[in-house]
Structure 1
Amino acid sequence: MTTDRTVSEPIAAAGGVTIATDIAIVGGGLAGSLAAAVLARAGHRVVLVDKRAVYPDEFRVEKIGGHQLEAFRRLGFIRGLESAACPYDRVLNIREGKVVDVSVGQAYGLSYADLVAMARSQLPDPSSLIVDEVTAISCSDDVQHLELASGRRVTARLIVLATGMSGVLGYKLGIRRRVLAAGHSVSFGFTIARRDGAPFDFKALTCYGERIADGVDYLSLFPIRAGMRANLFMFRDPADPIMRDLRRETEATVLRLLPGLQTYLGDFRVVDRIRNWVMDLSVVEGHLQPGVVLIGDAFQTNCPAAGTGVARLLVDVERLCIEYAPRWLMTPGMSREKISEFYADRDKIAADQQSLKMARFRQALTSRDDIGWDVRRRLHFLRRSITHRVDQMRPGWLAHVRSALRA
């Protein structure tokens, strides 16, 4: 057995053992771990299969807020989130060194590894997590089978693929990924601190790109336990030399792209490893099969700048684990007809479509240089600035207007 708890731990003595369960979830990232906890707490027999006992600290989801919090609350994870994350309730939004507006609302910052650990901690029985690797998969209208690297087998009525952008298992079932936009966006993540050790003068800050040619959508700064986290989102060729500059000379390159930040950050430095991610927009095809369902990024990828990934994931988990899977288990079989109900769910379809729509909108708002989008961009920030100034003169009026519109 290896001493590295982040990699596979095949158990030779377990060879030949067959584990029978209602639902087998493959992939123990956020989607799979949340789904496993929701189903297990409802009394279903569930196993979660992942090759890592402790999920690694990947550059993925690092902040939760807005309507996402309501979904976490409905699913019963809000207390776990609060205990694992750093709260903040105000975000200063700037562009060209000037305040655009201030966003007010509860939000939380945390590392993706801590987020996954929180979800896994909600499993009623820790032994539900099988640290192993799936090597083969077969599905039918009745019973599904998984072969594991350790020699063990898993039989289940339903398999949930929450394997993210890794399509190896899906490929074995004939599921293919269709790329809608290759290299759609580039994201960078790093943690910063002031060189003098003093705290920053804001709880959280968003700085929007200043020039179309730079391809910068925005830089988001927010607290996590390790310090002030920075997420930079760009629509630019991943092979552009500036990507190398951002990795090697991060502080100087960020200020070159966003000079208006200097006043707010002062003399700062990056205090951890620079991580970056190139995201393709993609969807799967051939996924409607008996006995298996795909959720989260395994079904469709998202643009990180649009901030819709977690919302989509939560819709998938909530609809599958609260509405469909429990009902499917009440009757024999796991046919295509049953599985199709989930993919045809109105809330799921709406979340998937909104995610793609926002991905294209963020790219156009950042990068399009025709007169129509130039006017739209100017009006977008002007409207926000005017609304903010009026709200400063008449505090609370915006909240009253929004409340009236919802009534």
Structure 2
Amino acid sequence: MKYTDVAIIGGGLAGSTAAAMLGRAGIATVLIDPHEVYPFDFRVEKLSGDAQLERFFRTGIADSVLRSTTHDGENWIARFGYLLDKRPSRQFGISYENLVKAIRAEIPHPAERVYAKVTDIAASRERQTLTLSNGETISVRLAVLANGLNVGLRRGLGIERQITSACHSISIGFDLVPVGRPAFDFPAMTYFSERTSDRIPYLTLFPVGNAMRANLFTYREADDPWLREMRHKPVETMNAALPRLRRITGEYGVAGDVRIRPVDLYVSTGYRKAGIVLVGDAFAATCPVTGTGTDKVLTDVTQLCNVHIPRWLATEGMGEDKLASFYDDPVKQACDAWSLAQSFSFRKVTMDNGPYWQAERWARFLVWLSQGTLRRVRNRLRGASKPRPSAAAASSMSPSA
């Protein structure tokens, strides 16, 4: 039997980040996942925003991982076919499997990796015994469940999932290509819904390598025929839903597969157990529309690895009362509550036709428009205030000089 301090079950964003952090802290850790090379998974495809990046930098691996991403530098904001603003942007595009690959490259000794499935966990207040699909058995002080949507192992421990909003939203991913020209005019763009009846909060376009990646979000039932049309006739379906989009993008096509992912909102129940802690989507899911899911994962992992695990390992035992400090962590709880509130707020502001939400939509439009106008005015004033070269200097710079 192999003995170690911490086992992390699941090697996606949450699990691999935790393994990298614990390894850098010198904590004996084993990351257990069946995939030596993480397969394609339509999940996180960009890291963005000051708050989210600040959370990522708390992991200690952000500098290295961001070198594998594509930074757009500027994001255009548009609605109703009008360009409202060109904002400086901190968006970093990367496919999920490459994000996991870059994070795993930062896992140092003494953290180890085992490529297998955990088929059973025998939990107690002192040590947890993990049985693996390759026949190996591992004894650990703490087991961290970071296996996302995989419910089988959790149910064996008496942990269930309570769905709070079935098919809350649907994410659609594809590559957008310009027609009749080599590239789009914009580095990245967020295009907001034109009509509440289309049930689309926004379309976000951002570079990943040499491709322009599109993430389109919608609030529909999983069996809605619109999704079938989107899969088989994406350009025509997009043009019908966002008819004025082409004023800014120009004519476009869709390259490759159209990926569609329905998302349920849920929270785990019965998770307060001795020897076991849940992080990320293993604990609760949030709506991808809000972009806060990555914030929630990074908050879970940084609080767990920077604050709680070092304290837990400093004393004997891994009882339920001891591990409760993670779930009761005010930083974690605040992020979970904020992320959940955003999930329902975004849905309301997209589709609700009540006076309050109509006013909210127009207020956002006017804020974007005013911010863009002020930015353009400031840029013109800066340009006008720059000293012009003298006649002699201009002559020396001319081709004939």
Indicate whether the TM-score tops 0.5: yes
Q: Do structure 1's residue 61 and structure 2's residue 44 form an aligned pair?
A: yes
Q: Do structure 1's residue 337 and structure 2's residue 321 form an aligned pair?
A: yes
1:226, distance to aligned residue in structure 2 (A): 4.6
Q: Do structure 1's residue 118 and structure 2's residue 102 form an aligned pair?
A: yes
Question: What is the one-letter code of the residue matched to 2:251?
Answer: D
If you compute each CA radius of gyration, which structure gives the higher value, 1 or 2?
2
Q: Deviation per CA, 1:29-61: give whole Å up to 9, x if none.
A: 000000001001110110000111111111100
* Percent sequence identity over aligned pairs: 38
Moved more, 64-73 or 22-31: 64-73
Structure 2 counterpart of 1:259 = 243
Aligned partners of 1:191 and 1:226 also within 8 Å: no
Determine the C-alpha separation between the residues in 2 that align with 1:184 and 1:166: 19
Equivalent positions of 1:183-222 (< 5 A) are: 183-196=167-180, 198-222=182-206
Name stretches of at least 5 consecutive residues in structure 2 with no aligned partner: 382-401
1:390, distance to aligned residue in structure 2 (A): 2.7
Identify the match of residue 26 of structure 2 among 35, 43, 47. 43
Structure 2 counterpart of 1:135 = 119
Determine the C-alpha separation between the residues in 1 that align with 2:338 and 2:94: 25
The verdict on how the C-alpha distance between 1:73 and 1:368 changes in structure 2, with shifts beyond 3 A counting, is: same
Structure 1 counterpart of 2:278 = 294
Q: Deviation per CA, 1:146-185: give whole Å up to 9, x if none.
A: 1011111111000000011211111111111100100100
Structure 2 counterpart of 1:19 = 2
Determine the C-alpha separation between the residues in 1 that align with 2:75 and 2:26: 40
Question: What is the one-letter code of the residue matched to 1:143?
Answer: R
Q: Deviation per CA, 1:263-311: give whole Å up to 9, x if none.
A: 2222322222111110011101110111000000011101000000000
Identify the match of residue 146 of structure 1 among 111, 130, 152. 130
Structure 1 counterpart of 2:359 = 375
Question: What is the one-letter code of the residue matched to 1:50?
Answer: D
1:396, distance to aligned residue in structure 2 (A): 11
Q: Number of aligned pairs?
A: 380
Q: Do structure 1's residue 106 and structure 2's residue 90 form an aligned pair?
A: yes
Moved more, 377-386 or 238-247: 377-386
Tell me the secondary structure at the aligned position of residue 44 of structure 1. coil
Tell me the secondary structure at the aligned position of residue 331 of structure 1. coil
Task: Output the TM-score relative to the length of structure 1.
Answer: 0.90
Tell me the secondary structure at the aligned position of residue 284 of structure 2. coil
Q: CA RMSD in A?
A: 1.6
Moved more, 125-134 or 153-162: 125-134
The verdict on how the C-alpha distance between 1:219 and 1:40 changes in structure 2, with shifts beyond 3 A counting, is: same
Determine the C-alpha separation between the residues in 2 that align with 1:188 and 1:393: 36
Question: What is the one-letter code of the residue matched to 1:232?
Answer: L
1:313, distance to aligned residue in structure 2 (A): 0.5
Determine the C-alpha separation between the residues in 1 that align with 2:270 and 2:63: 38
1:197, distance to aligned residue in structure 2 (A): 5.2
Structure 2 counterpart of 1:239 = 223
Aligned partners of 2:28 and 2:111 also within 8 Å: no
Equivalent positions of 1:344-383 (< 5 A) are: 344-383=328-367
Task: Output the TM-score relative to the length of structure 2.
Answer: 0.92
Identify the match of residue 76 of structure 2 among 89, 92, 105. 92
Determine the C-alpha separation between the residues in 2 that align with 1:100 and 1:298: 39
